[in-house]
Chains A and B, each alone.
Chain A
Amino acid sequence: MSDNGILRVVARFLIPLIMLFGLYIQFHGEYSPGGGFQAGVVFAAGWILFALIYGLENALKVISQRAMYVLAAAGVLLYAGVGLLGVLMGGRYLDFYPLLDSPHAAQQFGIITVEFGVGVTVATVVMLIYTMFARRKSEWEAVLKDGDDR
Chain B
Amino acid sequence: MAVAIVRVRDLFAAGMLFAIYSLLSAALFTVLDAGDVALTEAAVGAGISTILVLAVLALARRFEHPTGGHNLLALTVVFITGAVLIYATLDLPEFGQPDNPAQVHVGPHYIENSYTDMGVPNMVAAVLASYRSIDTMGEAFVILTAGIAVFALLSVRPRRRQAGIVPRRPPRNDEEEDEKEADTTGEKDNE
Contact = CB atoms under 8 A, between A and B. Distances in A.
B10 interface: no
A59 to B, nearest CB: 13
Contact of B124 (A35, A76, A128): A35
Contact of A33 (B124, B157, B165): B124
Nearest to B51: A48
A126 interface: yes
A117 B140 contact: yes
Interface stretch (B61-69, B76-84, B92-100, B141-149): B141-149
B167 A126 contact: no
Contacts of B102: none
B165 A110 contact: no
Contacts of A132: 150-151, 154-155
A143 B150 CA distance: 20
Interface of B: 35-36, 38-40, 43-44, 47-48, 51-52, 55-56, 58-59, 117-122, 124-126, 128-130, 133-134, 136-137, 139-141, 143-144, 146-147, 150-151, 154-155, 157-161, 163, 165, 167, 171, 176, 179-180, 183, 187
30 contacts: A29-B125, A30-B122, A31-B121, A32-B122, A35-B125, A35-B129, A36-B140, A37-B40, A38-B36, A38-B39, A41-B40, A44-B48, A79-B137, A79-B140, A93-B134, A104-B119, A114-B133, A114-B136, A114-B137, A118-B140, A122-B143, A128-B147, A129-B146, A129-B147, A139-B157, A139-B158, A141-B187, A143-B157, A145-B183, A149-B167
Given A94-B137, A132-B154, 20 more contacts: A32-B122, A35-B125, A37-B40, A41-B44, A44-B48, A48-B51, A104-B118, A107-B119, A107-B130, A108-B120, A115-B129, A118-B136, A121-B144, A125-B146, A128-B147, A129-B52, A133-B59, A137-B58, A147-B171, A148-B160
